[in-house]
Structure 1
Amino acid sequence: MKVLGISGSMRRHGNTAQLVGVILKRCDDAGIKTELVSLAGKKILPCIGCEKCKETKWCSIGKDDWSSIAQKVIDCDVLVIGSPTYYYDVCGQLKNFIDRTYSLYHDRKLAGRKGVAVAIEASNGAHRTIQTLEGFLNAHEFSSLGSVKGSGYLEGDILNDAKALKRAEKIGDKIVRLLVPNHD
């Protein structure tokens, strides 16, 4: 069993990565294999709408980092996907990644996994970010394990959001109960 966290933020160790990390730590502490992938510094080109993926069942755009990350999503049991809120929605880097997963939709390559949506807002808008992430998860037939919304702007601010941290820990515990049923 594996839990994959994706932080869509361009801040490698920013609030999104930290909040996703809280969930992953609960899983890791229970002996579940976890991995955190940051999209910071990654090259993720946008979908060009070429529709070639309907035949190839994989995105035909090459020469970027999308394929290796998409393969990690295919290989996971639970995906924890997070984004900072930019203008009331997910950030562009993560949106590029999500749009390219259309190539995995045709054969339902992601169906049957579990998913968690995580959003960080400076002051507001995270609700819509969660909706976008849950839309992605629903379209690919993930089963939702919930969502976490937190507030923070400067790196580390999320650690002051006690409500978000508590919710993230509860989601992490839920994943543990799911993947390790006899865990106390």
Structure 2
Amino acid sequence: MKIVMLTGSPRKNGTSSLLADKFAEGAGEKGHHVVRFDAAFRKVGGCMACGYCKSHGGACVQKDDMDEILPALLDAHLAVFVTPLYYWDMTAQLKAVVDRFFAVDRALTDPPKGAVLLATCNSRHTWAFDALTEHYKAILRHLRWDDRGTLLVSGVGAREDIEDTEYPQKAKALGLSL
């Protein structure tokens, strides 16, 4: 299976990065090919709603790193969204990538893909994830993608808060389950 992992954390060794690493490890052990795109360390401009893409076969007027990941995403069977929670939703870096799906959203629906959400937050309140999970469900509904799993981890503000928990192994198990 071809998997595209889209991460949003600006911390290279943060909590969500650990989940991404473990998920990719599990998926790799099952023989899946994982392409990882760390949005926070790439050049991705936000959608400008100019409509250029709709009159130019999905090509964006912006020439940035989305040109690299969109072909892989179109070819993928599964998309994995990985983010720490920033003010009740995915990071701005990941949101910029998701907004740019607009250029090819019809192509992303055929054939339908699966999706996974991995997210972390410092808050101990599980309701903190409500907006993110509803946003994720709306993206999947629009694209007609299937949810293949969600792992939400609260109360982890730093990597050491998550390292010795069950969550890295749960992320790996999710990757292995595909």
Higher RCO (CA 8 Å, separation ≥ 6 residues): 2
What 5-or-longer segments of structure 2 have no aligned partner? none
CA distance in 2, matches of 1:134, 1:14: 25
| Aligned counterpart, 1:131 | 134
What secondary structure, in the 3-state scheme, does the structure 1 residue paired with 2:82 have?
A: strand
CA distance in 1, matches of 2:8, 2:19: 12
| Aligned counterpart, 2:51 | 51
What secondary structure, in the 3-state scheme, does the structure 1 residue paired with 2:41 have?
A: coil
Shift of the 158–81 alpha-carbon distance from structure 1 to 2, 3 Å rule, reads same
Shift of the 37–107 alpha-carbon distance from structure 1 to 2, 3 Å rule, reads closer
CA distance in 1, matches of 2:134, 2:168: 20
Tell me if structure 1 keeps the 8 A contact 2:16–2:120: yes
Give the alignment's TM-score, normalised by structure 2. Answer: 0.86
What secondary structure, in the 3-state scheme, does the structure 1 residue paired with 2:177 have?
A: helix
| Aligned counterpart, 2:151 | 148
| Aligned counterpart, 1:103 | 103
Provide Cα deviations, 1:100-156, integer angstroms capped at 9, x if missing partner: 111111344564111101111111422322322332233222111021101322234
Shift of the 94–134 alpha-carbon distance from structure 1 to 2, 3 Å rule, reads same
**Aligned 1:8-87 pairs, distance under 5 A:** 8-87=8-87
Aligned length in residues: 174
Shift of the 106–52 alpha-carbon distance from structure 1 to 2, 3 Å rule, reads farther
| Aligned counterpart, 1:169 | 172
Shift of the 156–140 alpha-carbon distance from structure 1 to 2, 3 Å rule, reads farther
2:162 to 158, 164, 169: 158
Tell me if structure 2 keeps the 8 A contact 1:111–1:142: no
CA distance in 1, matches of 2:110, 2:13: 27
What 5-or-longer segments of structure 1 have no aligned partner? 176-184
Shift of the 120–63 alpha-carbon distance from structure 1 to 2, 3 Å rule, reads same
CA distance in 1, matches of 2:51, 2:30: 42
The Cα shift of 1:37 comes to 2.0
What secondary structure, in the 3-state scheme, does the structure 2 residue paired with 1:128 have?
A: helix
| Aligned counterpart, 1:7 | 7
Tell me if structure 2 keeps the 8 A contact 1:16–1:83: yes
Tell me if structure 2 keeps the 8 A contact 1:78–1:115: yes
CA distance in 1, matches of 2:111, 2:7: 21
Tell me if structure 2 keeps the 8 A contact 1:74–1:109: no
